[in-house]
Amino acid sequence: MSGNHDKSFVITFLGVLGILVGFTFTIIIIARILTSGDASVDQAALNKAIQARIAPIGTVITDPAALLKVSAAAPHAPMSGEQIVATVCSACHGTGVLGAPKIGDKDAWGGRLKADGGVDGLLASASKGKGSMPPRGGNPDLSNDELKAAIQQMLKQTGV
C-alpha cells in the first residue's frame, strides 16, 4: 500500500520536474530567437555613439605649449589713449586720489613733465611705477605705445 503511494509520488514529482525543465528550455530558446537580431548592430558605431553621449562638456588643457598658443591667439585690440585714461588711469588721476597728479592740474603735471625731462621720462616712471602709482597703472597688458598715448591724453586734457 505504502509502496504504491511512494511510486505515484515519484512519478508525479518527476513529471512536474520534467515539465519545469522543458518550460525553462522553451523560454531560453524563445529568448535566443527574439534577441538574435542584435547581431546586425555595428558594435563600433554603437561604442562611438556612447562615447559621444558620455563625453565631458569642457576640455581641460594641461599642455603648457597649447596654453601659450591659446593666450597668444587672443591679443587685446590696441586701445586709444582716451579709452585707457577713461577705463584705467582716471580711477586715480581723475580725482587725484593717493596724491596722483590730477587731470586738469597744470602745475602738478607741468612740474612732473619738467622733472622727468619730457613725455618719455614720464613714460619710464609710469611703466615701472612710482610711489602709490602701480606699474603701468596696474594693467600689465598695456603696451608702451598705449601707456604713452594715455599720458599724452592726460597732458592734453590738462592743457600742458
In this structure, the number of other CB atoms found within 10 A of the CB of residue 76 comes to: 9
The one-letter amino acid code at 142 reads: L
Q: Which is nearer to ligand HEC, 133 or 158 (CB)?
A: 133
Residue 14, CA atoms < 13 Å, CB-side half-sphere: 5
Separation CA 110–CA 118 (nearest Å): 10
150 counts as binding ligand HEC under rule CB under 6 A: yes
Residues in the chain: 160
Q: Cβ-closest residue to ligand HEC?
A: 131
102 counts as binding ligand HEC under rule CB under 6 A: no
Applying CB under 6 A, which part among 4-12, 50-58, 71-79, 124-132 lies near ligand HEC? 124-132
Identify whether the C-beta of residue 100 lies closer than 8 Å to the C-beta of residue 125: no
Identify whether the C-beta of residue 146 lies closer than 8 Å to the C-beta of residue 78: yes
86 counts as binding ligand HEC under rule CB under 6 A: no
89 counts as binding ligand HEC under rule CB under 6 A: yes
- Using CB under 6 A, pick the residue from 83, 125, 143, 152 that binds ligand HEC: 125
- Using CB under 6 A, pick the residue from 67, 132, 144, 145 that binds ligand HEC: 132
Least distance (Å) between residue 64 CB and ligand HEC: 30
Least distance (Å) between residue 76 CB and ligand HEC: 14
Identify whether the C-beta of residue 155 lies closer than 8 Å to the C-beta of residue 109: yes
Residue ranges that bind ligand HEC, judged by CB under 6 A = 84, 88-89, 91-93, 98-101, 112, 116, 122, 125-126, 130-134, 137-138, 142, 147, 150-151
